[in-house]
């Protein structure tokens, strides 16, 4: 095996909003030596925001709106983190990101347990057989009993768990964590910048009693005995097969239990795995370069109207200025300034290996899901757009800025932020999203990044479905009958905008030869 591929670890951090993903990402970067001081996310006095939240709107709201990519070296390993938005209105961005990683870390709030969004994301991991590690956060606050949390994880996420660290009390009485994986004790001192001391302590010794008090020491011994009795030995292969999830406890804000998680993670997590293409499975150690675009971001640098396409390297070695085939367009392309990221700070690179995420400057040639190869015709699959659930007409609020508005809408739609449908009956533009917050983000970004104002007008629609049929006559008849509700998407495909569930059901009954699709991939 190539040592460069072996030392790569590419993973996403996922969770429900406010469980502490971004804070955990910050602490990882602290250990990787990428940032010297963690931005206290909550404190407005310092006016420092999280490194991974760099868009203006993220700083104002204190939430992550788009996935950010960061890489750093740790011990012998090269770690690529993708910090994803937890808010359900941005779920699509997160689903897509999960197609580009080899494993995931799920953050769970110790007081709230498993929440709705976590369940949904876990379904995607299960579908793709992605190995997961669970980090139970906020142990320095009062929360649920650790054993109850483990049962809840097994039941809600439908996966076996195995604790690799164990908390000594919690909330105000939180004394620390016993690291089962390395068999040592970590004592807790609340400190956002400094790392806590590790102590080698025998479980049976009186030193343990002195350090944490007799009562807690005895409870820890009893708990560990139960764990050894109930849960099977940790087996790395079972974790890699996505059959068991190791669990760690700690507090990301106070930098506690994070290093244990990171140390164990780089040791056991998978290096880049084979990627499924339509034609065949692509192995990471193949000599020829292949990669796919899983995300496009407009305006990383507000001074330059540039888009960046994020390319995940699947096999071979990516080299700057080499000619590569853009499969969908059948053109040869070269990249003179490919970049790697630390959220918004980026640096030009000369080469990249499987597992790495490369930023390619995009002047409008890429779409999400595009493949790059050294000449082979390959198509990577599994980057769906879902059928939107909310719709509004978008209208120009400043006729002098028509060009800016059109350019802004086009770039934001390429990012996959939302979907644009043009009504064939009256030519009006309809934007469809999966959540209300998306409309605010689009309006905000159009105004602040493109200088264009838009306003929203209500339209009552139930669902958008892509339609196709082998029976041309029936398709034509359907389009005539539903003329007012027909639209086209940006690819120019026919979309039926059903205004109620009943109408959709009747249409499916009346037109048997027409297929109705609810994702754009069919």
Number of domains in the chain: 3
Q: Which pLDDT score is estimated for 134?
A: 92
Residue 489 domain flag: yes
Query: Do residues 209 and 329 share a domain?
Result: no
H/E run at residue 444: helix 436-450
**Structure token pair of residue 24:** 């955990």
Q: In 98-196, at which residue ranges do the beta strands (DSSP E only) sit?
A: 103-109, 132-137, 160-163, 165-168, 176-179, 184-187
Question: In Å, what is the CA distance from 198 to each residue of 6, 187, 433?
Answer: 29, 7, 48
Q: Is the dihedral of CA 461, 463, 466, 469 positive or negative?
A: negative
Query: Do residues 16 and 82 share a domain?
Result: yes
Query: Do residues 247 and 353 share a domain?
Result: no
Please state at what angle helix 146-157 crosses helix 214-230, rounded to 10 degrees. 30
β-pairing verdict for 77-83 and 8-15 = parallel
Considering only CA atoms, which of 458, 447, 444 is closest in space to residue 398? Answer: 447
Q: Are 253 and 18 in contact (CB under 8 A)?
A: no
Question: What does the alpha-carbon distance between residue 246 and residue 260 come to, in Å, rounded to a whole number?
Answer: 12
Phi, psi of 427 (to 5 degrees): 70, 10
**Structure token pair of residue 363:** 């002047």
- Among 314, 340, 373, which residue terminates a domain? 373
**386-396, pLDDT tens digit by residue?**
667 789 999 98
Query: Do residues 164 and 232 share a domain?
Result: yes
Sequential DSSP letters for 371-439: EEESS----B-----BPPSEEEEEEES-GGGHHHHHHHHHHHHHTTSSEEEEETTT--EEEEESSHHHH
Residue 473 domain flag: yes
**116-137, pLDDT tens digit by residue?**
778 877 877 887 788 999 999 8
Query: Do residues 131 and 217 share a domain?
Result: yes
Q: Which residue stretches of the chain have pLDDT < 50?
A: 36-49, 51, 54, 59, 62-65, 343-344, 522
Residue 522 domain flag: no
How would you classify residue 383: left for phi > 0, otherwise alpha for psi between -120 and 50, otherwise beta? beta
Query: Do residues 217 and 297 share a domain?
Result: no
Query: Do residues 308 and 412 share a domain?
Result: no
Other CB atoms within 10 A of residue 425 CB: 12
Question: In Å, what is the CA distance from 357 to each residue of 57, 223, 392?
Answer: 24, 42, 34
Query: Do residues 226 and 286 share a domain?
Result: no
**Structure token pair of residue 325:** 């085939």
**415-441, pLDDT tens digit by residue?**
766 888 998 888 899 998 877 777 888
Residue 379 domain flag: no
Q: Are 282 and 190 in contact (CB under 8 A)?
A: no
Query: Do residues 423 and 343 share a domain?
Result: no
- Among 201, 233, 268, which residue terminates a domain? 268
Residue 186 domain flag: yes
Query: Do residues 122 and 254 share a domain?
Result: yes
Residue 110 domain flag: yes
Strand, helix or coil for residue 364: coil
* CATH number, domain with residue 435: 3.30.70.3280
Measured in Å, how far apart are the chain's first and last C-alpha atoms?
Answer: 36
Other CB atoms within 10 A of residue 66 CB: 23
Residue 227 domain flag: yes
Question: What does the alpha-carbon distance between residue 86 and residue 435 come to, in Å, rounded to a whole number?
Answer: 13
Question: Which residues in 156-193 are b (16+ Cβ under 10 Å) and which e?
Answer: bbebebbbbbbbbbbeeebbbbbbbbeeebbbbeeebe
* CATH number, domain with residue 363: 3.40.50.300
Per residue, the 3-state secondary structure of 4-20, as one string, reads HHHCEEEEEEEECCCCC
Question: What does the alpha-carbon distance between residue 94 and residue 318 come to, in Å, rounded to a whole number?
Answer: 25
Residue 121 domain flag: yes
**Structure token pair of residue 204:** 């049976």
- Among 212, 236, 268, which residue terminates a domain? 268
Query: Do residues 241 and 208 share a domain?
Result: yes
> Could you tell me the residue range of the domain that residue 289 belongs to?
275-373
Query: Do residues 35 and 161 share a domain?
Result: yes
CA contacts within 13 A on the Cβ side of 170? 19
Question: In Å, what is the CA distance from 470 to each residue of 473, 483, 512, 516, 517?
Answer: 9, 20, 11, 13, 14
Please state at what angle helix 21-31 crosses helix 258-268, rounded to 10 degrees. 80
């Amino acid at each position: 095996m190539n040592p460069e591929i072996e030392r790569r670890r590419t993973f996403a951090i996922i969770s429900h909003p406010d469980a502490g993903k971004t804070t955990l990402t910050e602490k990882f970067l602290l250990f990787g030596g990428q940032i010297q001081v963690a931005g206290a996310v909550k404190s407005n006095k310092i006016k420092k925001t999280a490194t991974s939240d760099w868009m203006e709107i993220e700083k104002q709201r204190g939430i992550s709106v788009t996935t950010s990519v960061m890489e750093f070296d740790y011990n012998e390993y090269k770690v690529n983190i993708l910090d994803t938005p937890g808010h359900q209105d941005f779920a699509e961005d997160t689903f897509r990101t999960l197609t580009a990683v080899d494993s995931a870390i799920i953050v769970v709030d110790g007081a709230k347990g498993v929440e709705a969004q976590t369940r949904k994301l876990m379904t995607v991991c299960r579908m793709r057989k992605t190995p997961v590690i669970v980090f139970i956060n906020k142990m320095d606050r009062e929360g649920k009993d650790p054993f109850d949390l483990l049962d809840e994880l097994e039941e809600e996420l439908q996966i076996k768990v195995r604790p690799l660290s164990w908390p000594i009390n919690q909330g105000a009485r939180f004394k620390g964590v016993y690291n089962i994986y390395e068999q040592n004790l970590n004592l807790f001192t609340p400190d956002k910048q400094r790392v806590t001391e590790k102590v080698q302590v025998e479980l049976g010794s009186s030193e343990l009693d002195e350090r944490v008090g007799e009562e807690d020491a005895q409870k820890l011994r009893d708990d560990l005995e139960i764990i050894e009795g109930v849960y099977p030995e940790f087996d790395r292969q079972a974790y890699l097969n996505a059959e068991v999830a190791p669990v760690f406890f700690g507090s990301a804000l106070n930098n506690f239990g994070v290093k244990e998680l990171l140390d164990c993670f780089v040791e056991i997590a998978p290096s880049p795995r084979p990627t499924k293409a339509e034609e065949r499975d692509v192995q990471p150690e193949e000599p020829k370069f292949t990669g796919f675009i899983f995300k496009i971001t407009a305006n990383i640098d507000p001074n330059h109207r540039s888009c960046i396409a994020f390319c995940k390297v699947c096999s071979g070695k990516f080299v700057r200025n080499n000619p590569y085939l853009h499969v969908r367009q059948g053109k040869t392309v070269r990249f003179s300034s490919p970049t790697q990221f630390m959220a918004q700070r980026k640096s030009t690179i000369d080469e990249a290996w499987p597992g790495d995420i490369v930023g390619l400057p995009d002047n409008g040639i890429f779409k999400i899901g595009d493949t790059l190869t050294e000449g082979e015709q390959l198509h990577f699959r599994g980057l769906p757009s879902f059928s939107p659930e909310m719709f509004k007409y978008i209208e120009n609020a400043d006729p002098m800025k028509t060009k800016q508005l059109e350019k802004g809408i086009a770039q934001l739609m390429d990012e996959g932020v939302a979907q644009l449908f043009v009504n064939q009956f009256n030519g009006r533009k309809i934007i469809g999203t999966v959540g209300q917050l998306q409309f605010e983000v689009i309006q905000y970004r159009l105004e602040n990044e493109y200088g264009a104002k838009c306003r929203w007008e209500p339209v009552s629609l139930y669902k958008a479905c892509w339609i196709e049929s082998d029976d041309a006559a029936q398709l034509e008849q359907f389009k005539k009958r539903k003329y007012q509700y027909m639209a086209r998407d940006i690819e120019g495909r026919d979309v039926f905008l059903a205004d109620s569930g009943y109408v959709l059901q009747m249409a499916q009954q009346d037109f048997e030869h027409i297929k109705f699709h609810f994702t754009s991939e069919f």
